[in-house]
Structure 1
């Protein structure tokens, strides 16, 4: 029998923290599970990333209601992955915002991604029967847009390709708080199965150029100081750069995927092996890095069947 996905054995509930980063910004974090950002404006609330199911989203709503009774009017999708978007319906938002590139990915592979992620992360899809279907944005944009929550300015920016081709950040310029989605992780392994390795470091530099005073990453603790934010940016960049460099070296030397995987595990394990979901992410990350090194520019679609085939061959 093939070894199960590393994440399938992760069944323990995580401790939730709801941190205030500035006057208007909060981070919902859960020990390496997907994070959600919250911005409370003068007249309404904006949520950044929605959780995997409406039932899971209720945990976010409960925390929001401890600090405000204002209506949740906006949900922003940092990218298309199921664990980030399928809980959106719970918020009753008037507007669902995503980059045009993210919408393209939902059209192209949203359903396959849903089935794939559900298989990988059963705990995150609690009460999956509450999901009404794929989440579709009501507003899309190409490069950037600004939303005003009363007097609170929120810049929504397609920062560049990295974790996916549609990565979107939210930025509070007055308070210098950044919501990065999975472009940045902290103490958690970046999932790079749909990534653009050669672009990702440049995209991170654009985030660094904002000089954030605080940052809510896609996974891991909310980063409450400029130094902590830089640590998150630098750690993510180092992981991505080291992994791609090692896999590219193997691929260009003629090694097969298994050889590239073994080399990457040996190189990265000592430094990053204690990061959350390291063993789960590495097969997917190496597979995508190997493809990119071999000249496959756009990530191949992950299906439940492809997941299992890849996992068997590497694990």
Structure 2
């Protein structure tokens, strides 16, 4: 873990699927501290617990805040059996619909799934994670609707529900004394974003909420710590996808064709450009286009199909 500002420590996951950030907030007094997200596996959760004990000897993580329901931010909670779990009511309601650990383990164990399939894609990007000891996330013990103010050892932490955005009930945490925002997956840096079905226009509004806060330091759910200019740039990116997607939806362009034309890899140079298809799918659904996948595994199939198309278009034979 690295201290970003006094009392705020990040365990940066790195680029790629599943490598999420976790943030430890230590109080200016007291021994109970807050963990914002807890990464993907039991092993990662235990490593976070060990590091927290090193940072604050004698202290403990008394509360975990889920930024949203996705497993790469919640499954590490099994390493904190005594901590209270705080989430928005919308996140708590969404958690049963998340891909469950036994289902993911079965998919990862499939022998030789067809190339370009969702199962093959999941094995490529998630096969290196060890999900032993992960029955699933701990269920929230406290929920809130719009805002919840917490006292973390004398440090004020404001939880704001800004969803639907990336998911149905995204939470960000604002620490006024440090002018710092823990953004969760409202903010992706260096990789393309992924949407799990919430309206993309809501995501743009959520970024407006972040930019309206008196903050200079923003910790994303994936990627390095950034300043306000990166938040504004990410907002512009999503707005570009929204405007493009609305035009393509109104003209009747098939989703995968629209994603191919957008050609995210050449426009931005970020990782995982195939995920743009999920952003466009959200725009298409908001525009009333029927038939687009909504469940997580269906969206993974779309991602895999678009990724295969990008690989084909970028092959030497097509240059």
Task: Report the TM range for the smaller structure's normalisation.
Answer: 0.7 to 0.9
Counterpart in the other structure of 1:28: 11
Counterpart in the other structure of 1:277: 272
Give how far 1:155 is off.
1.1
Q: Distance in 1 between matches of 2:300 and 2:161?
A: 28
SS at match of 1:199: helix
Residues 113, 252 of structure 1: alpha-carbon distance in 2 compared, 3 angstrom cutoff: farther
Residue of structure 2 aligned with 1:49, choices 23, 27, 37: 37
Say if 2:26 is the partner of 1:40.
yes
Counterpart in the other structure of 2:311: none
Give how far 1:97 is off.
0.4
Residues 309, 23 of structure 1: alpha-carbon distance in 2 compared, 3 angstrom cutoff: closer
SS at match of 1:187: coil
Instruction: Quote the RMSD (CA, aligned, Å).
Output: 2.5
Q: Distance in 2 between matches of 1:93 and 1:136?
A: 12
Q: Distance in 1 between matches of 2:243 and 2:38?
A: 33
Q: Which runs of 5+ in 2 are unaligned?
A: 109-118, 309-319
Counterpart in the other structure of 1:201: 204
Say if 2:237 is the partner of 1:244.
no
SS at match of 2:132: helix
Q: Distance in 2 between matches of 1:270 and 1:218?
A: 24
Counterpart in the other structure of 2:112: none
Instruction: Check the 8 A contact 1:161/1:196 in 2, yes or no.
Output: yes
5 Å-filtered alignment, 1:178-257, equals 178-223=181-226, 229-257=227-255
Counterpart in the other structure of 1:290: 284
Describe the superposition over 1:212-269 as per-residue Cα deviations: whole angstroms up to 9, x where unpaired.
Answer: 121111111123xxxxx2122112212211112212211110111122111222xx33
- From the CA coordinates, give the structure whose radius of gyration is larger: 2
Counterpart in the other structure of 2:71: 82
Counterpart in the other structure of 1:9: none
Say if 2:149 is the partner of 1:146.
yes
Instruction: Check the 8 A contact 1:82/1:114 in 2, yes or no.
Output: no
Describe the superposition over 1:126-149 as per-residue Cα deviations: whole angstroms up to 9, x where unpaired.
Answer: 321211234310000001111112
Counterpart in the other structure of 1:308: 301
Residues 89, 314 of structure 1: alpha-carbon distance in 2 compared, 3 angstrom cutoff: closer
- Using structure 1 for the length normalisation, give the TM-score: 0.82
Counterpart in the other structure of 1:97: 86
Describe the superposition over 1:54-110 as per-residue Cα deviations: whole angstroms up to 9, x where unpaired.
Answer: 112233234323321211111100000111111111123421000000011113x12
Counterpart in the other structure of 1:6: none
- Using structure 2 for the length normalisation, give the TM-score: 0.81
Q: Distance in 1 between matches of 2:283 and 2:159?
A: 28
Q: Distance in 1 between matches of 2:153 and 2:26?
A: 10
